[in-house]
A and B are shown apart, each in its own frame.
Chain A
Amino acid sequence: MSERRDVWITGIGLVSSLGEGLEAHWDALKAGTRPVVDETGFAPYVVHPLAKVEFDKQIPKRGDQRQMEPWQRIGTYAAGLALDSAGIKGDKEILGRTDMVVAAGGGERDQSVDGAILTDIEKQAKPDVFLNEQLQSNLRPTLFLAQLSNLLAGNISIVHGVTGSSRTFMGEESSGTDAVRIGWSRIAAGTSEIALVGGAYNAERRDMLLLFALKRLAMMAPWSPVLAAAKGIPTGSAGAFLVLESPEHAMARGATPIAKLSGVWSERARRTEAGAVEAMIEELVTVARGGSDEATAVLSAACGAPEPTAAEAAVLARSGLPVRSVTDRVGHGLEAQMPVALAIAALAVSKGGLFPPLEGEPLEKPFDGTLKRAIVTGVGHWRGEGVALVESVD
């Protein structure tokens, strides 16, 4: 690797069960209260519902909102917050060359149409013909667009005018790590000046819970902290976008950094090999630490699935560093989780301190010192290990 430039985080958009924006999140995190969970609406599962959001504030046209499913609205909203935070909202010249990398899933189903079809299909003489008839009459044409993974990015282009470039990564937790990594790599290498990276997840949908339920991976009530004893994924609705920028570009427009993104590592342990996940996350954390533990903490984006989370927790316990679980505060947002955790890490570094430990999470120890560096760890529920390093800008 040749010479790398610094990469600054100059804007953050964050929306979750704790509210919207950096200050609302900081207030909630500092208060150290129990997370916001819904244990009945999707019983027996636990989800962290999105805080009440006035989508009109970032997506002014109702027509645009109607063309989106909730995950796209959450993401488009968070992207708007990030552009506001960076001070580039509406700046056509900059947005026209802003590079975008979005981590996305997709596939929100019309669950009532599916249910109605499943209720009657086995009674039909020709079930496949019946299915086609029902889909043709009952699917909303625009639902397809609300489903396509790359249409979160498409909606951000339409609503906010980000058009420099547009790439969408899928692949669960890793896609969030890689979206940030690619945006970071391009700026660090000097082939991009400014990028919008992030993702969004809607946890309040049974079709996604179904995917986890097939392997009994969704957390059931009652809610409990994930690092102490991972018993399932506590999915949480959230959207997070970061504006990444070269220092030259930021200074030229008078923007100040929230924090510095100093590195992003994305790897893939062979999980059929015993101990591989733990070894991989240990290796990545060691690289991120870089031999210095001064004013450093770890923020975990742990998924809550038993095996990978146990491996992650073991590494964090051995590290001796102060640890905070982002997942315990806002839940797990799959593709969005690394961007969410990075947003909170950058926030903590910019505040120069950590929020208090959570009751019931013994790995979290009190830390009253100054915080200058935050290592974010994320181990995918089925694949992929990611680590990122956020540092304060001196």
Chain B
Amino acid sequence: MASYTDKAGRPIVVVTGMGMVTSLGQGKQDNWAKLTAGKSGIHRITRFPIETMKTTIAGTVDFLPESGRTAPDLSEELAQLAAEEAIAESGIGSKGNFPGPLFCAVPPIELEWPQRRILAQESAANGPISYDDLLRAAETGGHDAWHERFLYGSIADHLADRFGTRGQPISLSTACASGNTSIQLAVEAIRRGDCDAALSIATDGSVTAEALIRFSLLSALSTNNDVPEAASRPFAKNRDGFIIAEGAGALVLESLEHAVARGAKILGVLEGVGEMADSFHRTRSSPDAKPVIGCMRAALADAGVAPEDIDYINAHGTSTPENDRMEFTGMSAVFGERIGSIPLSSNKSMIGHTLTAAGAIEAVASLLTILNGRIPPTINYETPDPAIPLDVVPNVARDAQVKRVMSNSFGFGGQNVCLIMTGEPA
């Protein structure tokens, strides 16, 4: 009989349900077909006017009937769709009764321009409008629902109601590492014995004009506007920034014992999580990549495996000049000369950078890679960067037996979280 605990004597944490939504489509099946076919979800923005914008492309999710509402509305809907898929697959609990806590990564939330404009008009101010006018209009009432909608906790709260998760849900952000953090918190809670199961969701439907402008002002976005689907070029020499995108990923995590006891199908094992913060700069990583190296090594140590045991890397691979170089430097230190021959790919070449959601979406894609024995490519890899020689599985998917994946996520604010995943326990 297999053991329910890992080498460190902790409960083994498994994944029994997964869901995802991206600009490529809704659900794992559709996404996987397109990810392995090398299809891009990046397109010209139609949600808001793009004249005067430096970047006019994105991976927005526009195919839902109500795409284009407020950012928290869309983020909540994406999260809900991903979680419904994950919970249905796992067969855990019963409808509206999930037997564990919710860890939910959410994008920045604040009152938006349509609401501000309505309040400004209702204030009927004579002359320049200030926040005092908006306050006066707000106090007269009629917009009570906006209060809850624009609270940070509202997305997770509504999801907790819908899925019947236990206790107070945790809404979190570690910027672009948020998806991995939502999984990390669940793994820790199960290992501590706080719960037998947990729901991790990471969602981002926050591509508004102002969000695009804010990233653009930091010179983080690609301006390869001409051919949208060819703009995201992780690890290629002509990469020039990331493509902002939307989506959500959800995972049902359980102790192996709990999953086995209820006869659940096990999709994979969350073997290890590593984290290390960077104190170098608000948006840039330490040039020596020490925190990223420390983060990857911590994940390997947590999983109790050696670098040689990793046979595929789901890279952070944003397509910014700096990230991809820094990630290469970090991986080179951890994997040594072998780094040039480990297959590695960036899902962001096709779905763009879904920011808050990226880690969870990529965790789902990583487990699908193991389950299907097929590695999604890094598309738009036409001009290799000689400074960072890697096997990025260029442009075409590759059949390969993948036993163990490392998935990296790094974010503004010095956030680094790395996951180690493997297939069904022996």
Closest beta carbon of chain A to B213's beta carbon, Å: 5
Partner of A154, one of B129, B134, B282: B282
- A157-192: CB near B (< 8 Å → 1, else 0) gives 110011111111111101101100010011001010
- Contact segment of A53-61, A102-110, A253-261, A348-356: A102-110
Closest beta carbon of chain B to A380's beta carbon, Å: 8
- B128-163: CB near A (< 8 Å → 1, else 0) gives 111110110011010110111011110011001100
Which residues in chain B, 17-47, are within 8 Å of chain A measured between CB atoms?
Answer: none
* Tally of chain A residues near chain B (CB < 8 A): 81
Residue of A with least CB distance to B184 = A167
Contacts of B168 in A (CB 8 A): 174, 177-178, 266-268, 383-386
- With A118-B120, A144-B218, A383-B157 as given contacts, are A167 and B172 in contact (CB-CB < 8 Å)? yes
Among A169, A175, A177, max chain B CB count under 10 A is at: A169
- Are A141 and B170 in contact (CB-based, < 8 A)? no
Which residues in chain B, 230-246, are within 8 Å of chain A measured between CB atoms?
Answer: none
Q: How far is the CA of A126 from the CA of B169 in the complex (A)?
A: 41
Contacts of B143 in A (CB 8 A): 214
Contacts of B119 in A (CB 8 A): 210
- Are A115 and B174 in contact (CB-based, < 8 A)? no
Cβ of B181 within 8 Å of any chain A Cβ, yes or no, is yes
Residue of A with least CB distance to B143 = A214
- With A128-B48, A210-B131 as given contacts, are A268 and B174 in contact (CB-CB < 8 Å)? no
- With A171-B156, A210-B135, A266-B167 as given contacts, are A135 and B276 in contact (CB-CB < 8 Å)? no
Cβ of A314 within 8 Å of any chain B Cβ, yes or no, is no
- B108-124: CB near A (< 8 Å → 1, else 0) gives 11110100110111000
- Are A166 and B172 in contact (CB-based, < 8 A)? no
Closest beta carbon of chain A to B355's beta carbon, Å: 11
Contacts of A111 in B (CB 8 A): 130-131
Partner of A171, one of B127, B129, B152, B279: B152
Contacts of A191 in B (CB 8 A): 188, 191-192
- Are A154 and B135 in contact (CB-based, < 8 A)? no
Partner of A384, one of B153, B213, B215, B276: B153
Residue of A with least CB distance to B130 = A115
- Contact segment of A145-153, A221-229, A244-252: A145-153
Residue of A with least CB distance to B132 = A206
- Are B172 and A158 in contact (CB-based, < 8 A)? no
- Are B413 and A170 in contact (CB-based, < 8 A)? no
- A112-132: CB near B (< 8 Å → 1, else 0) gives 001110110110001111011
- Are A132 and B151 in contact (CB-based, < 8 A)? no
Cβ of A51 within 8 Å of any chain B Cβ, yes or no, is no
Closest beta carbon of chain A to B346's beta carbon, Å: 23
- Are B280 and A214 in contact (CB-based, < 8 A)? no
- Are A118 and B116 in contact (CB-based, < 8 A)? yes
Contacts of A150 in B (CB 8 A): 173-175, 411-413, 415
- Are B412 and A170 in contact (CB-based, < 8 A)? no
- Are A132 and B49 in contact (CB-based, < 8 A)? yes
- Are A382 and B218 in contact (CB-based, < 8 A)? no
Contacts of A167 in B (CB 8 A): 172, 174, 181, 185
- With A118-B129, A206-B135 as given contacts, are A175 and B147 in contact (CB-CB < 8 Å)? no
Cβ of B210 within 8 Å of any chain A Cβ, yes or no, is yes
- Are A154 and B173 in contact (CB-based, < 8 A)? no
- Are B153 and A114 in contact (CB-based, < 8 A)? no
Contacts of A116 in B (CB 8 A): 128
Cβ of A213 within 8 Å of any chain B Cβ, yes or no, is yes
Residue of A with least CB distance to B119 = A210
Closest beta carbon of chain A to B114's beta carbon, Å: 10
Cβ of A46 within 8 Å of any chain B Cβ, yes or no, is no
Cβ of B171 within 8 Å of any chain A Cβ, yes or no, is yes
- Are B192 and A100 in contact (CB-based, < 8 A)? no
- Are B277 and A170 in contact (CB-based, < 8 A)? no
- Are A185 and B135 in contact (CB-based, < 8 A)? no
Cβ of B337 within 8 Å of any chain A Cβ, yes or no, is no
* Tally of chain B residues near chain A (CB < 8 A): 80
Residue of A with least CB distance to B48 = A128
Cβ of A318 within 8 Å of any chain B Cβ, yes or no, is no
Cβ of A136 within 8 Å of any chain B Cβ, yes or no, is yes
- With A118-B116, A158-B282 as given contacts, are A139 and B214 in contact (CB-CB < 8 Å)? yes
Which residues in chain B, 165-214, are within 8 Å of chain A measured between CB atoms?
Answer: 167-175, 181, 185, 188-189, 191-194, 209-210, 213-214
- Are B128 and A119 in contact (CB-based, < 8 A)? yes
- Are B120 and A131 in contact (CB-based, < 8 A)? no
- B399-415: CB near A (< 8 Å → 1, else 0) gives 00000000000011111
Residue of B with least CB distance to A173 = B153
- With A129-B51, A268-B169 as given contacts, are A166 and B135 in contact (CB-CB < 8 Å)? no
Contacts of B53 in A (CB 8 A): 132, 136
- Are A106 and B151 in contact (CB-based, < 8 A)? no
Partner of A163, one of B109, B144, B194, B276: B276
- Are B131 and A162 in contact (CB-based, < 8 A)? no
Contacts of A211 in B (CB 8 A): 111, 147, 150-151
Closest beta carbon of chain A to B406's beta carbon, Å: 18
- Are A148 and B277 in contact (CB-based, < 8 A)? no
Contacts of B109 in A (CB 8 A): 107, 170
Contacts of B216 in A (CB 8 A): 136
Closest beta carbon of chain A to B388's beta carbon, Å: 25
- Are B279 and A139 in contact (CB-based, < 8 A)? no
Closest beta carbon of chain B to A320's beta carbon, Å: 27
- Are A151 and B413 in contact (CB-based, < 8 A)? yes
- Are A175 and B152 in contact (CB-based, < 8 A)? yes
Q: How far is the CA of A211 from the CA of B119 in the complex (A)?
A: 12
- Are A215 and B282 in contact (CB-based, < 8 A)? no
Residue of B with least CB distance to A161 = B279
Cβ of B76 within 8 Å of any chain A Cβ, yes or no, is no
- Are A169 and B171 in contact (CB-based, < 8 A)? yes
Closest beta carbon of chain A to B104's beta carbon, Å: 9
Given A211-B151, A213-B135, output 7 extra A-B contacts at Cβ < 8 Å: A115-B130, A139-B214, A207-B131, A215-B144, A268-B168, A383-B153, A385-B168
Can you identify 17 A-B contacts, CB atoms within 8 angstroms?
A67-B282, A106-B110, A121-B120, A132-B52, A136-B213, A144-B217, A154-B282, A158-B414, A164-B276, A171-B151, A171-B153, A178-B168, A178-B170, A211-B151, A213-B135, A216-B139, A270-B161
Residues of A whose CB lies within 8 Å of any CB of B are: 1-2, 67, 100, 105-107, 109, 111, 114-116, 118-119, 121-122, 126-129, 131-133, 135-136, 139, 141, 143-145, 147-151, 153-155, 157-158, 161-172, 174-175, 177-178, 182, 185-186, 189, 191, 206-207, 209-217, 266-268, 270, 382-386
Q: 8 closest A-B pairs (Cβ-Cβ)?
A: A154-B413, A171-B153, A170-B152, A206-B131, A213-B138, A166-B277, A141-B217, A171-B171
